[in-house]
Chains A and B, each alone.
Chain A
Amino acid sequence: MKDLHEILRILEKDGRLTAAQVADMLGRPEEEIEAVIRKAEQDGIIRRYKAVVHWDKAGEERVFAFIDVKVTPTRGFGFDDVAERIYKFPEVTAVYLVSGDHDLRVMVQGSTMQEVANFVYDKLATIDRVQSTATHFVLRRYKEDREIFAEAEEDHRLAVTL
């Protein structure tokens, strides 16, 4: 278990490291690490591997919005059934049940503001038991998943120090 967590911490930072590299970093045999990773994949602990993309820099416009949703819960399901109806839309990138003024926080991605607005009016606000929505468009991404989207801090160190 301790091994698994250590491996996950390493891969969470850099999913492209090979099992052999991870094995060398941990001083363990490659096959052993390979097996742990494969099992974690099979068990759904490692969901998938992906790149963290700076889309603005790539020149593709993407619009993100947070939508806070108030929902009337029902007996037996609470918020789960409404959440499911929402997260199945492909434009929805994340759904959380949150404490505070609203119940669900939904993150939506679209290619234009209009597209996101249409999604809210047509699809989201019309779901039964959705009482209200409050849409917040993202104006700039500073940091996401611990990745800072501003220019990285430079390495100011001298090339050689004793």
Chain B
Amino acid sequence: MLSVAKHVQGVRASGIRKFFDIVAEMTDVISLGVGEPDFATPWNMREACIWSLEKGHTNYTSNWGMLELRELICQHLERLYGVSYSPANQVLVTVGVSEALDLVFRAILDPGDEVVIFDPCYVSYGPCVSFSHGVPVHVPTTVEQGFVPTPEQFRAAITPRTKAVLVAFPSNPTGAVADRETLQKIVDIAREADIFVVSDEIYDRLVYRAPHVCVAALDGAYDRTILLGGFSKSYAMTGLRIGYAAGPADVIEAMMKIHQYVTLCAPITAQKAAIEALRDGEDSVREMRDEYNRRRRLIVKRFNDCGMPCMDPGGAFYAFPSVKDFGLSSEEFAERLLYEKRVVVVPGSAFGECGEGYVRASYATAIDRIEEAASRIADFVKSLPRAVAVG
């Protein structure tokens, strides 16, 4: 009997696919389930794509990505975070951060190696580790700790097989950001244990309270950190699929080796857009961030006011309110909210077991839609019996 590989079989397909299919067939739905900006890509970046097509730039690029883009990425990281990388062999342009995640685990893991991952987290971390024959070790975090791991939790999860820790702040789905001290301690522990730090910083430009802390810039982090970043969220160009990895030359060269054989290069049209984004995208970033910030404050207040306690998220564009008071699982809550009020939120359980009891609501949606969704949610919540008496 022919069968697919066991390590692939072992990864469960996302359980809420069914839920997505229901959504696709409904009308008058307000979706707070979208994990991408509602802004279209700023026009100057789209225009750069059009121009490059007119000029016939439809060829392969260097496997590493266009040199001009790599140089700009290096300048950008130096300017923002004071970390220096060589465009020659320390930066690889990838097809979104998704590809970079796949590459980094394939490059650093031997079969059975463990990667510590903090939950709730983005859905692809565990599977990417498994596909690379590694073992994801999920460490739960709670709202009381702000969905940020404690150094003790991290230390306790380390075994002789641990090869890397994955940190991802600002976080999808919680919107949590980790403070500098905590991240420094995580780096210190990683150094003691001599393991890699993989840092997914795709939401680095979308922070609202304090400047973003780049993990690679922390003391002792540079030589063991693979920094993953991209253009999708900051510049609203998700579908153009441009990300990058920056880190120690030997790791980036190993990633490049895989990328070269598997992908060859990221699409040139999208690389052109990324070049334009780094040359002339700061105003767009600022405008979009300011707008997200207003929506963030509004939606968090609306959740708290209607009886869904919600942590104040410091980054990304997600709120992660609790639904624990209603005696429903997060999936039941999301499904009934969809059927009864036509509002989409994503069950927290999609992001790991400790996401149960929460839903993820994206505020990458216009203010008037958020207000309408919030009032529908408030109506819905009012109709629910409370499992726990409040006040």
Contact = CB atoms under 8 A, between A and B. Distances in A.
A137 to B, nearest CB: 28
B34 A159 contact: yes
B122 interface: yes
Say whether chain A's binding surface is mostly helix, strand, loop, or mixed: loop
Contacts of A153: 40
Q: Which of A10, A17, A162 has the most CB of B within 10 A?
A: A162
Contacts of A12: none
A25 B34 contact: no
A24 B298 contact: yes
B346 interface: yes
Contacts of A157: 34, 36, 38
A160 B344 contact: yes
Interface in B37-64: 38, 40
Given A160-B23, A160-B346, A26 B38 contact: no
Given A14-B367, A21-B371, A25-B367, A161 B294 contact: no
Contacts of B224: none
Contacts of A161: 33-36
| Interface size grouping (class) on chain B | 20 to 34
Contacts of B40: 153
Contacts of A27: 297, 301
Interface string A122-162: 00000000000000000000000000000001010111111
A157 B33 CA distance: 10
Interface in A43-80: none
Q: Which of B14, B297, B302, B344 has the most CB of A within 10 A?
A: B297
A161 B317 CA distance: 13
B350 A159 contact: no
A25 to B, nearest CB: 4
Contact of A160 (B20, B38, B297): B20
Given A160-B20, A160-B344, A155 B33 contact: no
Interface of A: 9-10, 14, 17, 21, 24-27, 153, 155, 157-162
Q: Which 4 A-B pairs have the closest CB atoms?
A: A25-B294, A160-B33, A161-B35, A159-B31
